[in-house]
Amino acid sequence: MRPLKAFINQASLRHNLSIVKQLTPNSKIMSVVKANGYGHGLINAAQGLHESDGFAVLSLNEAIDLREHGFEQDILLLEGAFEAYEISIAAKMGINLVVHNLHQLQMIENSKLNHPIDIHFKINTGMNRLGFNSNDAKDILKSLQKKSYFKSITLMTHFATADESKGVDWQFNIFNNIAKQFNFSRSVANSASILNFKNTHLDWVRPGIMLYGASPIVGKKSSSFNLKPAMQLKSKIISIQNLSKGDSIGYGDSFKANDDMRIAVVACGYADGYPRHAPSGTPVYIEGRKTFTVGRVSMDMLYIDITNISGASISSDVELWGEHIPVDDVAEKSGTVGYELLCAISASKRVPIETIYG
């Protein structure tokens, strides 16, 4: 069996959730487990985060899966219903819907619900992705207050620059000018604003990437927030090549040895979710030491320098990210973000996932 595997540590998930609780003691926590739990497995992630007040997912199938596995917390569909038939199912199963446009409101009204439904009313405060125009939101909300098929309404928005110097005030002020006119619950804080802006910790917070031990803020390491990686991606050396000065390795003749080198071939490539564009010098960990990749990442393999690691041999374990190599370090070197790398593991469907309990 191919040696590549992702290990998911539920103790780390619980630890990271405890950090959120410490930071937001007066808020309910809606843990985001979309994208198959950010690549960690939907049920794996939810089990590790079972002390959350709610879970946010993308699809109705994910929400049903959580219900069928016994999760009784609030469950929120972050993009709401895509088809009319989903609404009655959601209402019957106690699944909450984000509503972000008039079409969705019309579908709810046409559904003639036997069970009232909880909604999160999304306001577009400047990200210009999803949500009702802020100029129209107040009048629409006044009309919704009269509708008997809504059990509760929570106001929400999403910050575009909570992880950047621009901050959130430019959006938060717009949101508050609307929210203060209604006695509804409020939800605005994502991972970055949980860490950066205490004033955004309202009735609900929506942590995502920080729960998995990666940093939501470029330039700041997850360890600086006391977060622990929940995923360790590991493989093994499957071949060793001895290069002479001037030799190259891999496709494209892109790396040439400046001196004699000992190179390990590792069973992991871009078809497994490792970034193809990771350059030479991307960190890895082997036999108690950090080293780095060389050459171009192949579909099924990548190459690392073990010239000065005498204990490295065929079948030696290699950590590609996890406890010793933060996924954010690999992402930064590759010109992307940790979110993409974590999600890519489950998207590849080639990497077995093993859960570590305890």
In angstroms, how far apart are the furthest CA atoms of the chain? 78
Beta strands in the chain (DSSP E): 5-9, 28-32, 54-57, 74-77, 95-99, 117-124, 132-133, 150-156, 185-189, 204-205, 231-243, 261-266, 283-286, 289-294, 302-305, 317-321, 353-356
149 is catalytic: no
Q: Active site residue: 85, 147, 251, 357, which one? A: 251
Helix (H, G, I), strand (E, B) or coil at 303: strand
Residue 306 region by backbone torsions, left for phi larger than 0, else alpha for psi between -120 and 50, else beta: alpha
Q: Which one of 34, 122, 234, 236 is the catalytic residue?
A: 34
Q: Using alpha carbons, select from 79, 73, 75 the residue that is nearest to residue 98.
A: 79
Pairwise CA distance, residues 315 & 17, whole Å: 35
Asked about 251 being catalytic, the answer comes back as yes
Instruction: Give how far Cα 49 sits from Cα of 18, 53, 193, Å.
Output: 9, 9, 20
Catalytic residues: 34, 251
